[in-house]
């Protein structure tokens, strides 16, 4: 204490109420900015993960579809050839069907005889296109007649929320001249 009974400024400890309020307000603003950026980062990671899963699912379904379509036994063994369905007899004499019901969000299914499995889910669009050996589009001739299909193209789009993945490819039928 000083001679006059007052505490000196140098000996004063603690914070004033105004200092505490300002500190809390600044910390709150900084926390709000931090949470905003963390939220954006989390949303971006979620979107990247969704696209990764959709891409993997689409590729797997497309590769399986192509592998099976190549196994058409002969030119007279294609039973159904529409934009959303293809059925045929394979080299092992099994009836194969790859189909989508046309309803966005539903499954792409694969059947071998009586067994049906889901190739992928969340299908937004599927389109088979058929080409003749001269490169023109085929209006598919199916069994029991000899088909005019020489090449099959597949377009597949999967969608989950606002994210969509599109894959497309084509293959020649091995056993059809």
Is residue 2 a part of any domain in this protein?
no
Is residue 94 a part of any domain in this protein?
yes
Best CA proximity match to 177, nearest among 135, 142, 145, 149: 149
Asked whether the predicted pLDDT for residue 45 surpasses 90, the reply is: no
pLDDT digits (tens, 9 = 90+) for 106-145: 999 999 999 999 999 999 999 999 999 999 999 888 988 9
Is residue 44 a part of any domain in this protein?
yes
Asked whether the predicted pLDDT for residue 168 surpasses 90, the reply is: yes
Is residue 17 a part of any domain in this protein?
no
For residue 74, the number of C-alpha atoms closer than 13 Å in the C-beta half-sphere is 6
Higher-pLDDT residue of 47 and 86 is 86
Tell me the whole-structure pTM to 2 decimals: 0.75
Is residue 28 a part of any domain in this protein?
no
pLDDT-based confidence at 3, cuts 50/70/90?
low
Q: What is the mean pLDDT of the chain?
A: 89
Alpha-carbon distance of 82 to 99, in angstroms, equals 9
Asked whether the predicted pLDDT for residue 5 surpasses 60, the reply is: no
Is residue 101 a part of any domain in this protein?
yes
Best CA proximity match to 131, nearest among 116, 111, 151: 151
The whole domain housing 143 covers 36-172
Question: How many domains are there within the chain?
Answer: 1
Is residue 137 a part of any domain in this protein?
yes
Is residue 96 a part of any domain in this protein?
yes
Higher-pLDDT residue of 41 and 107 is 107
Count H helices and E strands in the chain, helices first: 1, 7
């Amino acid at each position: 204490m000083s001679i006059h009974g007052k505490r000196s400024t140098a000996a004063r400890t603690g914070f004033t109420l105004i200092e505490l309020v300002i500190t809390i307000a600044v910390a709150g603003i900084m926390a709000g900015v931090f949470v905003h950026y963390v939220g954006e980062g989390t949303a971006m990671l979620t979107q990247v993960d969704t696209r990764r899963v959709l891409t993997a699912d689409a590729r797997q379904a497309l590769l399986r579809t192509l592998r099976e379509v190549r196994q058409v036994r002969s030119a007279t063994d294609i039973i159904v050839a529409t934009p959303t369905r293809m059925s045929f007899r394979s080299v092992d004499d099994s009836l194969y069907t790859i189909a989508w019901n046309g309803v966005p969000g539903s499954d792409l299914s694969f059947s071998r005889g009586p067994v049906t499995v889901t190739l992928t889910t969340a299908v937004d669009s599927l389109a088979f296109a058929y080409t003749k050996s001269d490169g023109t589009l085929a209006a598919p001739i199916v069994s029991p007649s000899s088909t005019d299909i020489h090449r099959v193209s597949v377009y597949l789009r999967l969608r989950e929320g606002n994210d969509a993945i599109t894959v497309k490819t084509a293959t020649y039928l091995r056993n059809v001249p």
